Structure 1
Amino acid sequence: MAFNLTVDDFDPLVAYSNYGDWQTPNPQDNPTWWNATQDVTGSQWHQNTYHLTTVAGAQATFNFTGSALHIFGGTGANPNYTVTVDSASQVLTTANNTAGRTLLYGNDSLALAPHTVQITNNGGGLLLDLFVVGTKLGGDGATFTNTTVDDRNTQTLSFQPGGGWTQQTGDNFFNQTSTYTGAQGASIETNFSGSAVWVYGDQVNDHGSYTVYLNNSAVGTYTQRSGCANGYAKSCEKLHGLAFFAGPLPQGQHALKIVNAGGNGQGQQTFFDFDYLEYTTPSVWPQLAGAGGGAGASGTATGAETATGSAPATTSAHSGAAAGGVGTALLGLVAAAWVARKLVGQ
């Protein structure tokens, strides 16, 4: 059963070659807009964020597992950028949109397998807004049981060391709570039975690297630095960042562990924030080539909140972005005019 995963340009799953090469709005100016509709934000950009560059050679990289990929953003009047999926590069000069979001790249014919996409600005203007991945989280006709695990759920979650984590509250967190650490090597662990898992936490410029382990194997290192290019500080906070996603996963128990690096290599302490996670369990599991059954996972996640129905919202059919991407040129006039000045007036 096919689903679309939406990844915002700010999410830690997207890595940028140099923060200083990219200009972004400050999500802290409107902290609730990650979940606001366009009539509230007045912006056509997904979650009212984007990454904009006019620097030749500026790059963004994104790893995903899926059979389709669509990248949305904007360009100047003379687009010139390269998209590389795995080892195949394609120089694109056809997207031409100075007023709003457009499709920068689309491919519906990928193998359902791990892929790496890299998008490089070749000297014009390039704006990245969101990535949409087509993937498969269940077999044909599957229904899904979605489970949400809040940071306060100590029946399901293990925070190590116990004294290395600090609880906090705030109206904009899920269930008004969140937990963070600045301790080097501090970890959070859980077990779950699902075909996909999502982890959420806020991003701030004093946050840093963390490594994710799935079934005892390191699967990626990411950063929760928000990246508004104003240096190390408690600034540029964006709530509800997608800190990690994995799927499709084979049937069975899976062990998830996240380890905070605790420093940025320049003598500054860095933090990791955990707000909540979700996983989905299908009634019919997807058939995956070479599936190993989740070897290494043990135990059962308990004490979580569950709901039966469709997959979590982040994987539902993507409304507005994919289907209407090219047609949004006249929306969000204030942001569009600003971007047009940046891209055309260089």
Structure 2
Amino acid sequence: MASIMDRSAINVNISIDDFDSILEYIPDQAPWTTPDPWNDPIDFKTTPWRTGTYHRTEQVGAAVTLNFTGPAVYIYGGTGPEYGSFEVDIDGNKTVVTAYRQESSLLPTSEILFTNEDLAYAEHTLTLTNKGAQGDDKGGDAFLFDYLDMTVQMAPQGASITNKTIEEDDPSITYEGTWGTNQSGNFSGGGSTYTNGDKASFTVEFQASAIYVFGDKKNDHRTYNVYLDGAPAQTFNGTSGCGGAWAASCEQQQPTIKYFASNLNSSTHTLKLENIAGVNESYFDLDSIVLTVPSEYAPRNLSASSASANGSTSTGQSGGGSSSGSSSSDTPDAAFTVGSSPLLLLTFFVLYMLQPRLRQ
């Protein structure tokens, strides 16, 4: 297959948590249950789940989907006697994976359920659908999704990357409409900003090979549009999905990914994010923007998608290793983990916590 992963380049594993807004739950989040981080503070020393949350369903046909660009994806979730099978659909290519295990561990753990490292470097649509008990599954119909990793190339071989954090009060961000502010040592840079104005927006110009927008996720949040370089809007939903259909509750105190884009060239890019408040006057919260800036730009030419969903299952670590490239960060907010195989895989993780918003 042409244009797959360049293992000599700087490739990064981006972790997409079950609470991140770039995921879409189908038909919505009603068939799914999740721990409420608003009521149950997360002990990160003991939780088996990334950021302390998961999405679990017993409804056959319930699904979660993600659009991503890159050559590899890794799915993590729960296994045990209560679980059945789920379908992995990548660009219409489907395979069924079982999460059933005859015995369960003494403590729940998040295991790697599916791996595919042979995708074309292209735009892909991934859908995970609960199939319930199938074939040799002797348990129930449950499916538990914890998180996934997707691999993207940030820079070519021999280059380096630096991560730059833009706080919400940085003058490079232009705001339209009414925005409020919160101050807390738990936010990146000590503060955040929020709006419940319809069509209230912010715009930022930047140069980077990738951009992350981080913010809060809560049940009084709804949809928002993102425009990159004047392209048609991409619409996302910031509702957290527990604590009731509409409530100022179920806040994910870990920062969530509100938007992500990669494979950008060296030109100046423009990102605009617009809140869709609607009749409920729903909120959008911005904590920070993180840019990955390479010493050399070499965006990949994207292939026509011709994915195969026939990946593999594993209980080991994905990726890892040495490369002639390097990375650094000018902010303590981001940490990267380097593994031990021929591919440099840097797992993006944020160390600060977002506390509940106090709106007046």
RMSD over aligned CA atoms reads 2.3
Match of 1:272 in 2: 284
Give the secondary-structure state (helix, strand or coil) at the position aligned to 1:27.
coil
Q: 1:79 to 1:146 in 2, by over 3 A?
A: same
Give the secondary-structure state (helix, strand or coil) at the position aligned to 1:137.
strand
Give the secondary-structure state (helix, strand or coil) at the position aligned to 2:155.
coil
Q: 1:182 to 1:94 in 2, by over 3 A?
A: closer
Give the secondary-structure state (helix, strand or coil) at the position aligned to 2:221.
coil
Match of 1:260 in 2: 275
Give structure 2 stretches of 5+ with no counterpart: 1-9, 133-140, 304-325, 341-360
Structure 1 position 94, deviation (Å): 6.1
Match of 2:153 in 1: 136
- Give % identity: 33
Match of 1:84 among 89, 102, 112: 89
Contact 1:6/1:315 (8 A) holds in 2? no
Contact 2:15/2:147 (8 A) holds in 1? yes
TM-score (norm 2): 0.76
Match of 2:36 in 1: 26
Contact 2:35/2:54 (8 A) holds in 1? yes
Q: 1:152 to 1:117 in 2, by over 3 A?
A: same
Code of the aligned partner of 1:121: N
Match of 1:327 in 2: none
Give the secondary-structure state (helix, strand or coil) at the position aligned to 1:21.
coil
Match of 2:300 in 1: 288
Q: Aligned pair count? A: 292
Give the secondary-structure state (helix, strand or coil) at the position aligned to 1:47.
helix
Match of 1:127 in 2: 144
Q: Quick check: which one's helix share is greater? A: 1
Question: How far apart, in 1, do the equivalents of 2:266 and 2:56 lie?
Answer: 40
Match of 2:78 in 1: 74
Match of 2:336 among 316, 321, 327: 316
Match of 2:168 in 1: 151
Contact 2:243/2:249 (8 A) holds in 1? no
Cα deviations by residue, 1:130-182 (Å, 9 ceiling, x for unpaired): 110111010112112321111111x2000102xx1111223321122111111
Cα deviations by residue, 1:8-34 (Å, 9 ceiling, x for unpaired): 111101111121111100112355x4x
Give the secondary-structure state (helix, strand or coil) at the position aligned to 2:30.
helix
Q: 1:318 to 1:89 in 2, by over 3 A?
A: farther
Code of the aligned partner of 1:231: A
Contact 2:243/2:250 (8 A) holds in 1? no
Contact 1:3/1:315 (8 A) holds in 2? no
Code of the aligned partner of 2:290: E
Code of the aligned partner of 2:176: Q
Question: How far apart, in 2, do the equivalents of 1:22 and 1:318 lie?
Answer: 33
Structure 1 position 219, deviation (Å): 5.0
Match of 1:177 in 2: 191
Match of 1:333 in 2: none
1:174-213 to 2 correspondences below 5 Å = 174-213=188-227
Kindly indicate whether residue 63 of structure 2 is the aligned counterpart of residue 59 of structure 1: yes
Contact 1:74/1:98 (8 A) holds in 2? no
Contact 1:6/1:314 (8 A) holds in 2? no
Give the secondary-structure state (helix, strand or coil) at the position aligned to 1:75.
coil
Q: 1:62 to 1:209 in 2, by over 3 A?
A: same
Kindly indicate whether residue 258 of structure 2 is the aligned counterpart of residue 243 of structure 1: yes
Match of 1:336 in 2: none
Match of 2:314 in 1: none
Give structure 1 stretches of 5+ with no counterpart: 292-307, 321-346
TM-score (norm 1): 0.79
Code of the aligned partner of 1:250: N
Structure 1 position 287, deviation (Å): 3.6
Structure 1 position 113, deviation (Å): 1.3
Contact 2:84/2:100 (8 A) holds in 1? yes
Match of 1:50 in 2: 54
